[in-house]
């Protein structure tokens, strides 16, 4: 998972292991996701990587992220309409989105948490927990 992949070499091995042909663009996109904690949108990924890869197109980013999602190594977060954010962390955790500054924070969850929703007889494959409100940074800014 994301956090241990600090070199291009280890990203390469990781993608191969997941059955994904490690093209230059795919490596760079996964590497960027793995080192970024902000759960970026396609726009953010594009803006950042286009500095290094001037020929990069958003279509490739969309293609690549869809491929990553289908391979189960990235999940798409639809915390708000009109933007998908991408997360290379596949363990169960929650997300907090701040109304004011728009930041998204990872929030740890109790280990037993995931089991507390009884899904009747449905077969559950994904669990998403989103909290929204005002983040501690913005609260601090208001106080003063």
Partner DNA sequence: GTATCTGCAAAACATTTGCAATTCT
Partner DNA sequence: AGAATTGCAAATGTTTTGCAGATAC
Residue the block writes with tokens 């363990």:
91
* Minimum distance of DNA from residue 123's CB (angstroms): 23
- Give the nearer residue to a copy of itself in terms of CB position, either 16 or 131: 131
- Give the nearer residue to a copy of itself in terms of CB position, either 52 or 115: 115
Answer for the pair 81, 97: CB distance below 8 angstroms, yes or no.
no
Q: Does the protein bind DNA through residue 19 (CB under 7 A)?
A: no
One of 3, 23, 38, 137 touching DNA (CB under 7 A):
23
Question: From a copy of itself, DNA, none, which one binds at residue 41 (CB under 5 to 8 Å depending on kind)?
Answer: DNA
Sign of torsion over alpha carbons 15, 78, 99, 61: positive
* Minimum distance of DNA from residue 104's CB (angstroms): 14
Q: Which two tokens stand for residue 120?
A: 């009747």
Q: Does the protein bind DNA through residue 84 (CB under 7 A)?
A: yes
Q: Which two tokens stand for residue 88?
A: 């290379």
Q: Which residues pair with 94 in a beta bridge?
A: 107, 129
Question: From DNA, a copy of itself, none, which one binds at residue 135 (CB under 5 to 8 Å depending on kind)?
Answer: a copy of itself
Q: Which two tokens stand for residue 107?
A: 């929030």
- Give the nearer residue to a copy of itself in terms of CB position, either 23 or 133: 133
- Give the nearer residue to a copy of itself in terms of CB position, either 8 or 84: 84
CA dist 121 and 102 (Å) reads 36
> Which of 84, 80, 135 lies closest to 106 in space, CA to CA?
135
């Amino acid at each position: 998972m994301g956090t241990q992949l600090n070199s291009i070499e280890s990203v390469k091995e990781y993608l191969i292991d997941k059955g994904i042909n490690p093209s230059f663009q795919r490596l760079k996109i996964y590497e960027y996701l793995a080192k970024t904690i902000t759960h970026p949108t396609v726009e953010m990924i594009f803006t950042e990587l286009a500095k290094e890869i001037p020929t990069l197109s958003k279509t490739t980013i969309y293609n690549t992220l869809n491929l990553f999602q289908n391979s189960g190594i990235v999940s798409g977060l639809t915390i708000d309409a009109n933007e998908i954010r991408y997360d290379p962390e596949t363990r169960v955790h929650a997300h907090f989105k701040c109304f004011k500054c728009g930041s998204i924070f990872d929030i740890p969850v109790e280990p037993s948490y995931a089991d507390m929703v009884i899904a009747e007889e449905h077969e559950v494959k994904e669990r998403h927990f989103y909290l929204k409100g005002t983040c501690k940074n913005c609260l601090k800014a208001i106080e003063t």
